[in-house]
Amino acid sequence: MAIGLRTMLIGYARVSTREQDNEAQIDALEKSGCELVFKEKASGSRWDRPELLRLLDQLRKGDVVVVWKLDRLSRSLKDLLMLMEKIAGAGAGFRSLTESIDTTSAGGRMMMQIVGSFAEFERAMLRERTRNGLDAARIQGRIGGRRPKLKEGQKAEILSLVAAGSKTAAEAARLFGVHPSTVSRLLKQAEAP
């Protein structure tokens, strides 16, 4: 579709993972009047989003970029404001359907900045709570992450089998039902001073 000089509503729909579905976003964007919708499956914190870059390259004066929700465009206020500058630099506007933000008016621009600030504050609070929870768990002797596949005795047995030459690393991995990289990491840790 050729983009002319008339005002055009251009949608941007993004989900973070391949498992997620952006059909609800696309439906809302099309119902709001978007003639063109760019669809992306990528994290909002990444800058290498080809569909977003294509959208920004095609923006013309008077166009309006429409998203279903503000965080579909970016997760950080800094990045969001940079994107808003690029959109404004092209002479285009921005609209978020969920937050009812429309930067084609002064009130909409102010509201976008307020909502973006609250969203960033919420993410910072979540990071802080997570960090505090992990610190408290460490103090209590709990360590986060995946449980080890091998017990200490099994690790010692693998080291002994491989050192004696009776099993290769791959054979030891099969014997204990773990991935070969698990055994390789164990052997490297044992070699380290």
Average pLDDT over the chain, rounded to whole?
Answer: 85
* Statement to judge: residues 75 and 26 lie in one domain: yes
| 147 within domain boundaries | no
* Statement to judge: residues 30 and 70 lie in one domain: yes
| 77 within domain boundaries | yes
pLDDT per residue as tens digits for the range 102-148: 888 888 778 777 766 777 787 788 889 989 988 888 888 887 777 88
| 128 within domain boundaries | no
pLDDT per residue as tens digits for the range 11-24: 999 988 766 788 88
* Statement to judge: residues 115 and 166 lie in one domain: no
| 169 within domain boundaries | yes
Over residues 36-62, mean pLDDT: 86
pLDDT category at 44 given cuts 50, 70, 90 is: low
pLDDT of the residue at 38:
93
d(C-alpha 105, C-alpha 168), whole Å: 69
pLDDT per residue as tens digits for the range 72-88: 888 777 788 788 888 98
Regarding predicted confidence, which is higher, 187 or 77? 187
Number of domains in the chain: 2
| Least confident residue range of 35-49, 56-70, 160-174 | 35-49
d(C-alpha 65, C-alpha 85), whole Å: 12
CB atoms within 10 A of CB 54: 12
- From 16, 43, 105, 160, the catalytic residue: 16
Decide if 190 contacts 183 (C-beta within 8 A).
no
| 135 within domain boundaries | no
* Statement to judge: residues 117 and 157 lie in one domain: no
Over residues 43-61, mean pLDDT: 84
pTM above 0.85, yes or no: no
In sign, the C-alpha dihedral spanning 16, 17, 18, 21 is: negative
| 131 within domain boundaries | no
* Statement to judge: residues 51 and 111 lie in one domain: yes
The answer to whether 74 is a known catalytic residue is no
* Statement to judge: residues 114 and 56 lie in one domain: yes
| 146 within domain boundaries | no
Domain with residue 47: its CATH number is 3.40.50.1390
Here the tokens at position 34 are 């978007």
Query: CA 132: distance to chain centroid?
Result: 22
| 93 within domain boundaries | yes
* Statement to judge: residues 100 and 16 lie in one domain: yes
Q: What residue numbers bound the domain in which 156 lies?
A: 152-191
